[in-house]
Amino acid sequence: MKKAQTHRRQGSRRQATILDVAARAGVSTATVSRTLAAPDLVSDDARARVLAAIKATGYTPNMAARNLRARRSMMVLVVVPNVANAFFAEVLRGIDDELVTHGYGMIIGNLDNRQEREARYVDLVFAGQVDAVLLMSGRIPSSGGRLMSEAGVPMATICVDIGGTFPSIMVDDQKSSRTVVEHLVSLGHRSFGYVSGPAGNRNEMGRHQGFLAGLAAAGFDPTEAFYWQGDFMIASGASAAHEFLACPKRPSAVYAVSDSMAISFMKTVMEAGVGVPDDLSVVGFDGIEFAEFVTPTLTTIQQPRHEIGRSGARTLIEAISQGTRPKSIKLDAPLIVRDSTAPPRLAIKARRRG
């Protein structure tokens, strides 16, 4: 009989509340809420005590009620120019990994490089369906005379700079390109080619400026470098390679400002009988996984894509919770030297003669 009474008392035990958690942790209810919504804003000690109290009491926050009171959708829109680009996969994973830890979800807005797709995402933001926006496209989406940035939600660009004072989370494109030139010059290269990104793209502008500055700093005339138009995508790398093959005098090193272009450039010239790196050194930019598995493996600027994604999501969460403007962040991008770069044949012969 006693056991049955005990069972009934345990079964009718009331559900733990935020007050129970706060009392057990020795903090305010506001600190409990902040730990759940924006843990980075709470001290390590307080966060540990709150999480221990949540576990001990079995407290389950009513997320729907919290969202309704705060008038939040708990969703972030990420606008991507083209999800087919292999570069974006790891960035998106980083964004999602960080958002999930704060109870947020992600909506991917794929523009597919078509401006007419912008309208649906502009409407989505103005309708209050998302709490913040990360832009991977090189411009602010607009529709019907409305810029997405006018919707009043925190917004930042990621992996791309659109100029002005707009917050951005990205690597230093100019510095990275100068590092590429320094590497090629150190190997003994004296003739250089450059496969560009899309005309007018600010990432392309930064990478090109860094390339030219690196050549000038090394004592070369930047105007003598070969230049082929690209757009970051695979097909343009192959197209640039065909132009390279048609040149009566060719450079000994080529820098393509995306791995996708570098890999297709390398494959095309090798199929035509040009040895990489024996006849030609090739460098890419991005550090996609596939760069490690092509033959030869690709020397490239390694963008910390997962950390870029996490940093972008983190700065938006802080802006949402604090009611402030997202911060701009610059991350380092090391040069990963692999098998696609080597001293040119002329430099090797000169060293042997010496």
In SS3 terms, the chain reads as: CHHHHHHHHHHCCCCCCHHHHHHHHCCCHHHHHHHHHCHHHCCHHHHHHHHHHHHHHCCCCCHHHHHHHHCCCCEEEEEECCCCCCCHHHHHHHHHHHHHHCCCEEEEEECCCCHHHHHHHHHHHHCCCCCEEEECCCCCCEECCEEHHHHCCCEEEECCCCCCCCCEEEECHHHHHHHHHHHHHHHCCCCEEEECCCCCCHHHHHHHHHHHHHHHHCCCCHHHCEEECCCCCHHHHHHHHHHHHHCCCCCCEEEECCHHHHHHHHHHHHHCCCCCCCCCEEEEEECCHHHHCCCCCCEEEECCHHHHHHHHHHHHHHHHHHCCCCCCEEECCCEECCCCCCCCHHHHHHHHHC
CATH match for 2-61 among 3.40.50.300, 2.60.34.30, 1.10.260.40, 2.30.42.10? 1.10.260.40
CATH topology for 72-167+306-329 is: Rossmann fold (3.40.50)
The CATH classification of domain 173-304+335-353, taken from the options 3.40.190.10, 3.30.465.10, 3.40.50.300, 3.40.50.2300:
3.40.50.2300
Residue 346's pLDDT band (cuts 50, 70, 90): low
143-152, 252-261, 333-342: segment of lowest average pLDDT: 143-152
The structural domains of the chain, with segments of one domain joined by +, span: 2-61, 72-167+306-329, 173-304+335-353
Q: Do domains 2-61 and 72-167+306-329 have the same CATH topology?
A: no
Tokens at residue 130, please?
């998302």
Enter the pTM of the model: 0.73
Q: For residue 155, what are the CA distances in angstroms to 1, 81, 166?
A: 63, 16, 9
Residue 17: burial class (beta carbons within 10 Å; 0-12, 13-18, 19+): middle
- 330 pLDDT tier (thresholds 50, 70, 90): very high
**Per-residue model confidence (pLDDT) at position 71:** 65
The pLDDT of residue 225 is 98
Query: For 214-227, what is each residue's pLDDT tens digit?
Result: 999 999 999 999 99
pLDDT digits (tens, 9 = 90+) for 159-184: 988 877 789 999 999 999 999 999 99
- Does 199 score more than 60 pLDDT? yes
CA distances from 293 to 58, 205, 288, 339 (A): 47, 29, 10, 11
